[in-house]
Structure 1
Amino acid sequence: MNRLKAILSRIDRKGYGAYKDLQGSYDFGQFTLFVDKVQRDPFAPPSLVRVRTKENRFAPELFRNPVRRTAFEDFLNRAVEQAVRRTVRGNRGSGKSGRVEIQRTSQVVLPRSSIVVESGYVEARMAVGLPARGRTVDARAARAMLLDELPEVVQTALTPAGVDEGAAREHVETVEDASHLRNRLPELGLVAFVADGAILPRESGASDRPLGKGAVPFESPEEFRVAVELPNRGEISGMGIPEGVTLIAGGGFHGKSTLLSALAWSVYDHVPGDGRELVVTREDAVKIRAEDGRSVAGVDISSFIRDLPGGQSTADFSTPNASGSTSQAANIAEALEIGTSLLLVDEDTSATNFMIRDERMRELVQLEPISPFIDAVRPLHRDLGVSTIVVVGGVGDYLDVADRVILLENYRPCDATRRAREVRERYPSRTSHEEGEVRPPMNRRVRAASIDLSRGRKEVARGKGLATVELGRERVDLTYLEQLAEPGQTEAIGRIIGEFAAGGRSRAVAEVVDSAVRSIEKNGLDSLGNFRGHPGELSLPRPQEIAGAINRIRSLQATTG
């Protein structure tokens, strides 16, 4: 600490570049401060620092297995966020001066690189905007940040003396229960589970926090109620959605899309108080939608769209500008290619001509290459073991193919399967549904050389916010990968694609993704890319979103076989 004080006194009021002298490590007694990278000026990205405690005095039970460790690291990340808000004064001086930041969390619990819990220490990786007056060193403000505020953050967020042990235990046990419940879904023959009492509505379209006043707690229909024993909470009950084809119906604003959204987000665990803590979905579930204008590279969509005019095959389909129907077919084929056991589909975000074709249009349009999804939804389960949950509000023909129907009225679900059967008998469909054969899509090999990372004299492969990956001069739009939760996942995806592109080899999409996932499992998120400083800005993405990002690269070249 004395050496740090001396350096700050020596460089005070010098040019901002003098802060480079801070790089190194400093002993603060209870913890060590590592200054890994110093920003070049006050307007550049903040400097990177780590604080590592000399020992880990937290109860070992909080991190005794991988699930608990991830949950506890998530808890400490949130504790640091809160401590920074309470303790750090914030902006002072020019540019990013005075900021202290750690990776921002969402409502979900993810493995991240920002907090590391080991048996002998706890480490937090942060970004610090070193203070400046204009473009000169402000040593007085820097001393306040590094010698006063940062130690206070460590004391209140990274030691047992400052952390609420009861809250930490609740956080860990909540995540462990959800993970246990999700792992049990296959043996129970379920694709999803919604606990009684869950709060599904969110504050707004811009907030993922639970709705407060007016939220209706979820209550399972008796016909779907399942009881499950959890390791910490004991027995709970809720609605189990079995494998097969499930229809969610109801009027507008009665909660259909809210339920589907909760299921889509429940591939992840949630924090206590979120309302969806015990809502779980198969971890490989994929939300499918139409995506007008996306590029498609060499995808086998032949199970959904037959040969096009002129004899063009759809077993190796490419386009720079897909229609709603072809994009939705490609999204399903790509989900099957990377692996999924559950598709989540909402009529509102689907292409009408992909979902259904009525009797009149079948009669009028004889040469139609599109096989509507209604004809494929049952074969998907029969032939490939892939279940579907589909939300409909205006297409009654889906009653013909549903194994069960959940009707939502005023946010309250009921079993309408028998009622739907009576409606079918009373109002027979005038359209005949021809169940086809759904084959696994042919595997593709993608050319690494088709991804150009060069931007001027440097190579770029990085995330830019939640919905963009920058690869060289190309910006890959991930807006419609609706199950991306945090910018840290996007950053990790950018680095995974960058490593693949730099390797130069053509490989199957699944091979690229599997190799990256295995490497992360073995070596941690820290292994992604060459870091200048610490890698504290990464969150773990699912294989489905990694593949989804690769598939949306407009320069991508791929072939089937």
Structure 2
Amino acid sequence: MKSETELKQLLYSIDHKGYPAYKGTRGSYRFGSYELSIDHVQGDPFAALSKLSVKVAGRTAGFPGRLYDTKYKRIALQDYVTRQFAAQAGRYTFQAKGSGKSGIISVTRCGQEVLERTSCTIEERTGDVTVRFEVGFPANGRTINARELIKILYDYLPACVEKSMMYKELNAGKVEKVMELSVDREFIREELKRLDLAAFVANGSILPRESGVSQRPMKDAVAFVSPGSMEVTLELPYKGTLTGMGVKKGITLIVGGGYHGKSTLLKALEAGVYPHISGDGREYVVTDSTAVKLRAEDGRSIKHTDISMFINDLPNGKDTNAFYTEDASGSTSQAANVVESLEAGAKVFLIDEDTSATNFMVRDELMQQVIHRDMEPITPFIERVGDLYKTYGISTIIVAGSSGAYFQVADEIIQMDRYVPKEITEAAKAAAREYPSLELPGDKPEMPEFKRFVRSNPDLKQKGRIKIKTLGKDGVQLNHDTIDLRYVEQLADAEQLTCLGHIVKYMEEHMMDGRTTMQQLIEKLAAQMDSSGFKVICEESYLPGNLAMPRKQEIYACLNRYRRLGTR
């Protein structure tokens, strides 16, 4: 490893030379209390930024072991360090001058969720802390401006490292609170299992968001208060007594007038699969970690999926035991989403009537009389939801605003009244008895067999190097093939989509052999990433700093929407 002095001498020697001379700076350098690595150098001042990392040895960083001795604590601390480094870097970005992207210091912008990311990693055994970031190497035109880069690396960067990666420089009380919140939240998640709950929403939670484009809590919003009949009180390790609404496993219906908070509650439950930062308002909203939001998705592709549980005897004679289409309807797409979520191990379904296919969700009594069951290929979800829970242990939480049909099958009914939940199960059931009861089919749904064998896309490999491009939270491209992920609503961050791109690329190059099922493929990869992290899918000598870990359920969702995927 070279010294910081050698790097400075090198920079002075290439000052005013052509921009490609910056390539010679790649390598690792000792900077007193930390190690600086220049992992990738941009090709010109207007290209994607150069990739750097800083590593501080555990004994120098000084974080007490109790702050990172479990995976969930470590992820919380990594998130905190990332945010602190980003705050410091923000003070210096563009302070160094030049053309193009000169002087940018870019670090992951974390949202409200606490995600496992490559932007910061803490070694479990040694406590070594590494932060990955990007820098626009300064230039005048296309000529190296080394003196401005020296400012970044020798003046600005040491201050960022000192004030974000050294425990002694941080607010110890705040760091401790980060750890305590992670422990309390994990405790709630374990309590869900013990108490047979699908979700928990603490009293005092702020569920409404600031706006459609901001996930920050709404100011002056109505704080959540549980109905008395649904109250659960927990004794958390650090926060102590916490009371809130426990949503039991089974079938839960959320009803109420428009704009009274039904979808807001469901959105909070969707996001409850992730931890959230202090001050978010949803810190103590915890949902079963496998929960999946289901919706209709007109136009998506479906690859040999067994949707016969819901759709059979199609007029065109298509096989619904291995259904294939490049342009799914609302009902077939939602049926496929249900079955694919079963394959992904989901134990809770989250459904909003507003984004569902009506004919998939319910057929009312009049329609059943006019169009006889023998003439209708769709078995609506309402006729399967009870058996999904009783036979397979799959709970469902449904938002309904226009149809009362689900009153008859729901185990628990919540009415949202001006953002205040009320438990109205008995009253709603009594009202439902005044109406004709649903005619349910006599057959019981059989769990589909998940035996879709996956092979790679030969056209993709023939094009040489597979390039990945992330389209925000809309999708990801592998070369020119786009995987549309707009309606996978629990993807919280664009960096998760970037990670999904790397996952599909890795699977294409190393795992898809035509003899392995999709389920075997994903379960194997998920287990590898759970134990070894991001390096499993990154073949470069360095980790990029722009990846965030998706859940296993989103890996399934991504592959299922990959139009060029070979299946049989």
Which of 135, 138, 145 is the aligned partner of 1:131?
A: 138
CA apart distance, 1:59:
2.0
1:253 & 1:539 partners in 2: Cα distance?
33
Code of the residue aligned with 1:505 in structure 2: it is: D
Establish whether residue 45 from structure 1 lines up as the match of residue 22 from structure 2.
Answer: no
CA contact (8 A) 1:290 1:325 kept: yes
Residues 336/14 of structure 1: CA separation in 2 closer, same or farther (3 Å cut): same
CA apart distance, 1:364:
2.9
- Corresponding residue for 2:72? 67
Which of 100, 105, 130 is the aligned partner of 2:105?
A: 100
- Corresponding residue for 2:476? 469
Deviates more, 1:260-269 or 1:352-361: 352-361
1:455 & 1:131 partners in 2: Cα distance?
37
- Three-state SS of the structure 2 residue aligned to 1:336 is helix
- Corresponding residue for 1:19? 22
2:371 & 2:408 partners in 1: Cα distance?
23
Establish whether residue 543 from structure 1 lines up as the match of residue 552 from structure 2.
Answer: yes
CA apart distance, 1:448:
2.1
Establish whether residue 512 from structure 1 lines up as the match of residue 521 from structure 2.
Answer: yes
CA contact (8 A) 2:62 2:168 kept: no
- Corresponding residue for 1:528? 537
Number of aligned pairs?
557
1:23 & 1:39 partners in 2: Cα distance?
11
Show CA shifts across 1:455-489 (max 9, x none): 84422345443331212320111011100111221
CA contact (8 A) 1:300 1:314 kept: yes
Which of 236, 245, 251 is the aligned partner of 1:245?
A: 251
Deviates more, 1:376-385 or 1:91-100: 91-100
- Three-state SS of the structure 1 residue aligned to 2:168 is coil
- Corresponding residue for 1:424? 432
Establish whether residue 552 from structure 1 lines up as the match of residue 558 from structure 2.
Answer: no
Normalised by the size of structure 2, how large is the TM-score? Answer: 0.95
CA contact (8 A) 1:300 1:317 kept: yes
- Three-state SS of the structure 2 residue aligned to 1:110 is coil
- Structure 1 gap ranges (5+): none
CA contact (8 A) 2:250 2:396 kept: yes
1:5 & 1:162 partners in 2: Cα distance?
27
Which of 277, 292, 296 is the aligned partner of 2:283?
A: 277
1:505 & 1:463 partners in 2: Cα distance?
26
CA apart distance, 1:86:
2.3
1:43 & 1:69 partners in 2: Cα distance?
36
Deviates more, 1:273-282 or 1:25-34: 25-34
CA apart distance, 1:436:
4.5
CA apart distance, 1:543:
0.7
Show CA shifts across 1:74-115 (max 9, x none): 110111111111233357322221111122212111111221
Establish whether residue 458 from structure 1 lines up as the match of residue 461 from structure 2.
Answer: no
CA apart distance, 1:266:
0.5
Normalised by the size of structure 1, how large is the TM-score? Answer: 0.96
- Three-state SS of the structure 1 residue aligned to 2:167 is coil
Show CA shifts across 1:261-308 (max 9, x none): 000010011110110001000000000000000000000000111121
CA apart distance, 1:156:
0.9
- Corresponding residue for 2:446? 439
Show CA shifts across 1:174-196 (max 9, x none): 12211221122122110000001
Establish whether residue 156 from structure 1 lines up as the match of residue 159 from structure 2.
Answer: no
- Three-state SS of the structure 1 residue aligned to 2:61 is coil
1:115 & 1:141 partners in 2: Cα distance?
26
1:138 & 1:186 partners in 2: Cα distance?
59
CA apart distance, 1:533:
3.8
- Three-state SS of the structure 2 residue aligned to 1:444 is coil
Which of 176, 179, 199 is the aligned partner of 2:206?
A: 199
Query: How do 1:156-555 and structure 2 match up within 5 A?
Result: 156-213=163-220, 215-366=221-372, 367-425=375-433, 427-429=434-436, 431-434=438-441, 436-450=443-457, 452-454=459-461, 456-461=463-468, 463-503=470-510, 504-506=512-514, 507-531=516-540, 533-555=542-564
CA contact (8 A) 2:310 2:380 kept: yes
Code of the residue aligned with 1:63 in structure 2: it is: Y
Residues 451/484 of structure 1: CA separation in 2 closer, same or farther (3 Å cut): farther
- Three-state SS of the structure 2 residue aligned to 1:554 is coil
- Three-state SS of the structure 2 residue aligned to 1:405 is strand
- Structure 2 gap ranges (5+): none
Deviates more, 1:189-198 or 1:83-92: 83-92
CA apart distance, 1:534:
3.0
Show CA shifts across 1:149-201 (max 9, x none): 11110011111233111111111211221122112212211000000100100
Code of the residue aligned with 1:57 in structure 2: it is: G
Deviates more, 1:11-20 or 1:466-475: 466-475
Show CA shifts across 1:361-410 (max 9, x none): 22333311011111111111011110000000000111011111000000
- Three-state SS of the structure 1 residue aligned to 2:391 is helix
Deviates more, 1:514-523 or 1:251-260: 514-523
Establish whether residue 29 from structure 1 lines up as the match of residue 32 from structure 2.
Answer: yes
1:450 & 1:104 partners in 2: Cα distance?
34
CA apart distance, 1:53:
1.7
Deviates more, 1:277-286 or 1:10-19: 10-19
1:16 & 1:3 partners in 2: Cα distance?
19
Deviates more, 1:507-516 or 1:238-247: 507-516
Residues 428/508 of structure 1: CA separation in 2 closer, same or farther (3 Å cut): same
CA apart distance, 1:314:
0.7
2:529 & 2:268 partners in 1: Cα distance?
28
Code of the residue aligned with 2:27 in structure 1: it is: G
1:361 & 1:421 partners in 2: Cα distance?
22
- Corresponding residue for 1:115? 120
1:557 & 1:521 partners in 2: Cα distance?
26
1:389 & 1:446 partners in 2: Cα distance?
32
CA apart distance, 1:431:
4.9
CA apart distance, 1:424:
1.4
1:463 & 1:439 partners in 2: Cα distance?
38
1:461 & 1:86 partners in 2: Cα distance?
31
Code of the residue aligned with 1:297 in structure 2: it is: K
Residues 316/91 of structure 1: CA separation in 2 closer, same or farther (3 Å cut): farther
Code of the residue aligned with 1:246 in structure 2: it is: T
Deviates more, 1:445-454 or 1:353-362: 445-454
1:207 & 1:98 partners in 2: Cα distance?
28
2:389 & 2:249 partners in 1: Cα distance?
8
- Three-state SS of the structure 2 residue aligned to 1:238 is strand
Which of 148, 152, 156 is the aligned partner of 1:145?
A: 152
The alignment-based identity, stated in percent, is: 41
CA apart distance, 1:416:
0.5
- Three-state SS of the structure 2 residue aligned to 1:87 is coil
Q: Output the aligned Cα RMSD.
A: 1.7
1:406 & 1:166 partners in 2: Cα distance?
39
Show CA shifts across 1:475-504 (max 9, x none): 111011100111221122112211221134
CA apart distance, 1:311:
3.2
CA contact (8 A) 2:92 2:105 kept: no
CA contact (8 A) 1:376 1:436 kept: no
CA apart distance, 1:116:
1.8
2:134 & 2:382 partners in 1: Cα distance?
51
CA contact (8 A) 2:96 2:152 kept: no
Code of the residue aligned with 1:515 in structure 2: it is: K
Code of the residue aligned with 1:531 in structure 2: it is: E
CA contact (8 A) 1:526 1:535 kept: no
- Three-state SS of the structure 2 residue aligned to 1:124 is strand
CA contact (8 A) 1:451 1:555 kept: no
2:14 & 2:439 partners in 1: Cα distance?
81
Show CA shifts across 1:314-352 (max 9, x none): 110000000001000000000001111100000000011
- Corresponding residue for 1:78? 83
